[in-house]
Structure 1
Amino acid sequence: MSASPESFSLRQIALPAFGPSLLFGMGEGAIFPVLALSARELGASSAGAGLIVALVGIGSLLANLPAAALATRYGERRAMVGAAAVSLLGLALCLLAPNPWIFGAGVLMIGVSSAVFLLARQAFLIEAVPLHMRARAMSTLGGVMRIGLFIGPFAGAAFIHLMGLQGAYWLSVLAMLGAGAVSLAIPDLEPRAAPGAAATPPPLSMKAMMRRHARVLLTLGVATALVSALRACRQIVIPLWADHIGLDAATTALVYGLMGGVDMLLFYPAGKVMDQHGRLWVALPCMLVMGLSLLAMPWTTGFVSLLAVCIVLGFGNGIGSGIIMTIGADASPREGRTVFLGLWRQITDLGGSGGPLLLSGLTAVASLATGITAIGGIGLVAAWMFWRWLPRGRVVR
């Protein structure tokens, strides 16, 4: 699978690199819209159904550091196959669950498998792709996952029409089987050794890795956690503000879909800009555009103005496709890389979990507009942090 850096093309590894991610994203996208409905059918309250949906993120958060240990010990390919198997077991529990407790356990396993799969996929690409194409690879990975998450609900709707609510889970089963099969067929990767490199030293422990790389984790790591917070809040504020200004569910879905379409179109150009000009050329405008869009959202009063703001918001998010993974890959050391990436994902996932909590708290004590404005301000803070600590120019090692 290796090729000289000068002759390398992403097409050479398109199927093994991005095929499993597309299928995995499609499998998750198929079930995400129906998790709450399934929980309600099993007797969960509205609050309980919300908690069960949140178990996807909780499972991912709990699994980041163990995922790093698994990928380090067994390799990225085996970790991806194992993640697909765990996801299949979780889906089986969801299909057979007699009560919300068993169903919740299955959802938690799906969240755990997602963390293992994504970390192993990122580590695999870091080794497989030359440095001068790293950002394009990471942005394509992020874009492919988004495409899968976008296709999943539509394909799931067709299965639901034929089989009922369980059809979404059966589609996810097929997608996860495909992701596992493609991952299993990938040959083991031989890391590109630097000329004259010495034997690989023993991997660092989590504690030693945190101590050695504390500065980058507390600067760029925190900045990317703020990116994750903005993205998580974006999913929440659009339907809430649309409802606040009187838009119905169908109109809100149209706004969200158009925004997602703009988002998906930009992942490869964004990666190319990062590779050719440097990460700051994308990270800074991404945060400025998203932050200013959220600051403008409370001033919208109807469909047209909200759609315009959301299109700009989708543009900002789209040009930032893969930015968290790319910066994490750049910062990661060769020795103990998966351990570092596990810590990196833990920090960014904490941002993704903390952002909605902050939004909820500010909305409760002040107003929805205040909460949205504060989240927009976080985007400007992240932009300043990138300006302060993200290296200028192209990454060269």
Structure 2
Amino acid sequence: MPAQSDRVRLPIAVYVLGLSVFALGTSEFMLSGILQPLARDLDVSIPQAGLLVSAFAVGMVVGAPVLAAATLRLPRRTTLIALLAVFGLGQVAGALAPSYGVLFISRILSALACAGFWAVGAAVAVSLVPVTARARAMAVMVGGLSIANIAGVPAGALLGQHAGWRAAFWAVAGLAAIGLLGVIALVPRTAVPTGEDRPQLRRELTIYKDKQVWLALTATALNGAAVFALFSYLSPLLTDTAGLAESWVPTVLALFGVGALTGTFIGGRIADAHLFGTLFGGIAASTAVLALLALTAHSPVAAVALALMLGVTAFTTAPALNARMFNVANVAPTLAGATTTAAFNIGNTLGPWLGGLAIGAGWGYPSVAWTGAALAAGAVVTTAFAFRLHRATHQSRLTTSSAGATPATPAAQAGAAQPVDFAKATGAAGHH
């Protein structure tokens, strides 16, 4: 007999939100494919251009928790419309930017709107469907991000090569406009929760007293930093180090996206039963892939193959990282999602910055892969600490339960739980 969630047809509004996320994701990641023409046009170095990736990430870090908290009690549809409009205007400002400074500011503003849309959009998508279809609704949201990696980012790179980097910004602005019209037309007005259902910021803030929350956030940030230390400079590494023609860059970015989608699918299937095993295996595999890429970066075949493999290994861990955060912060789902997004983008800020330092020190583009490997190794160590604490807490709870004492706290029980829905539904968002 099919599951009840399989018999529920998702509202078209959920797909409109997924389309909007596709635009957001394309904007967030497309700079890796247009870094070189952008740097040439604005007369800045590659590391300086790479800071635009960090600027977006900083906006996401600040915007996710702040806007999630600020909009807890506001009408969600109105908030979505406002945030998507600001995001679209940010893309227009980027396309028209006369200088690096203006483009930098436009990226921060776009990121603030992007972060807020993620936080509110996820809540809206879940509210539009019954409980048994929430995972599918979230899968549509994060699926927009995966498709952005597969199609949007390479398409942006192609536009950057043949029509100039500004054309990529205009294209994303067009997607945002379509998403905005869809939200206005198809996302229904919903009543603001009242009484006991009304979100309470003070209650949600209590999650930050839990060590496991901070360990989960640290692992997420380090894993994200490891990936984006390399991904942000993948284009020049492919052309200047591996010797590939610039026309190959969109293809390799698409392969990375295919790997990411594959990894998300694999992680979503295995993380439910083997949460920490998925974390250890995926992050350790990413460490090995990054180290191997650093050693073989001058080989075009190796560079292309390992870029694909990194997409698989890095995103295999994404469902487990998200599920782990929801496990240890189950009393605050709004801030749990927003904080995970912030942690991912802290990594997205740290990785390109450290990679730029390595390049600026004259160590060459392979050094960004070494940087990523070191960061991934740090994520493995952090996960080991979390696993040790998890085992100690779980064993203590079992001991007290068998002795007839009071059961462990809800936070401890949440650390041992492994909810199926979030492990599968939040896979590609690893940052959102």
- Paired with 1:236 and 1:7, the residues of 2 have a C-alpha distance of 38
Counterpart in 2 of 1:21? 21
1:104 matched to 2:104? The reply is yes
Q: 2:243 aligns to what SS in structure 1?
A: coil
- Paired with 2:7 and 2:287, the residues of 1 have a C-alpha distance of 34
Alignment of 1:1-397 (within 5 A): 6-7=4-5, 11-13=9-11, 15-26=15-26, 33-34=33-34, 37=37, 41=41, 49-125=49-125, 127=127, 138=138, 141-156=141-156, 165-184=165-184, 185-188=186-189, 199-200=196-197, 203-205=200-202, 209=205, 213-236=209-232, 238=234, 242=238, 246-250=242-246, 254-275=251-272, 277=273, 279-280=275-276, 282-300=278-296, 302-334=299-331, 337-359=333-355, 364=361, 368=367, 370-385=370-385, 387-388=387-388, 389=390, 391=416, 393-394=418-419
- Paired with 1:358 and 1:176, the residues of 2 have a C-alpha distance of 31
Shift of 1:235: 0.7
Give the partner amino acid of 1:104. F
- Paired with 1:278 and 1:65, the residues of 2 have a C-alpha distance of 29
Deviation per residue, 1:265-305 (Å, 9 max, x gap)? 34345324445x36445433322321222233333362334
- Paired with 1:296 and 1:378, the residues of 2 have a C-alpha distance of 17
| Length-normalised TM-score, structure 2 | 0.71
Question: Residues 156, 263 of structure 1: CA spacing in aligned structure 2 closer, same or farther, 3 A cutoff?
Answer: closer
Q: 1:73 aligns to what SS in structure 2?
A: coil
- Paired with 1:31 and 1:243, the residues of 2 have a C-alpha distance of 16
- Structure 1, unaligned stretches of length 5 or more? none
Q: 1:265 aligns to what SS in structure 2?
A: helix
- Paired with 2:384 and 2:132, the residues of 1 have a C-alpha distance of 26
Give the partner amino acid of 1:101. G
Give the share of equivalent positions with the same residue, in percent.
19
Question: Residues 362, 119 of structure 1: CA spacing in aligned structure 2 closer, same or farther, 3 A cutoff?
Answer: same
Question: Residues 52, 267 of structure 1: CA spacing in aligned structure 2 closer, same or farther, 3 A cutoff?
Answer: closer
Deviation per residue, 1:20-78 (Å, 9 max, x gap)? 22243345566764477457545666665444453222222232232112331324433
Q: 2:72 aligns to what SS in structure 1?
A: helix
How many pairs were matched up? 386
Question: CA contact under 8 A between 1:225 and 1:348: conserved in structure 2?
Answer: yes
The root-mean-square deviation of aligned C-alpha atoms, in Å, is: 4.1
Question: CA contact under 8 A between 2:226 and 2:372: conserved in structure 1?
Answer: no
- Paired with 1:238 and 1:40, the residues of 2 have a C-alpha distance of 17
Shift of 1:86: 0.6
Question: CA contact under 8 A between 2:327 and 2:417: conserved in structure 1?
Answer: no
Shift of 1:170: 2.5
- Structure 2, unaligned stretches of length 5 or more? 391-414, 423-432
- Paired with 1:30 and 1:366, the residues of 2 have a C-alpha distance of 25
Shift of 1:157: 6.4
Question: Residues 33, 221 of structure 1: CA spacing in aligned structure 2 closer, same or farther, 3 A cutoff?
Answer: same
Question: CA contact under 8 A between 1:239 and 1:252: conserved in structure 2?
Answer: yes
Give the partner amino acid of 1:354. L
Question: CA contact under 8 A between 2:216 and 2:386: conserved in structure 1?
Answer: yes
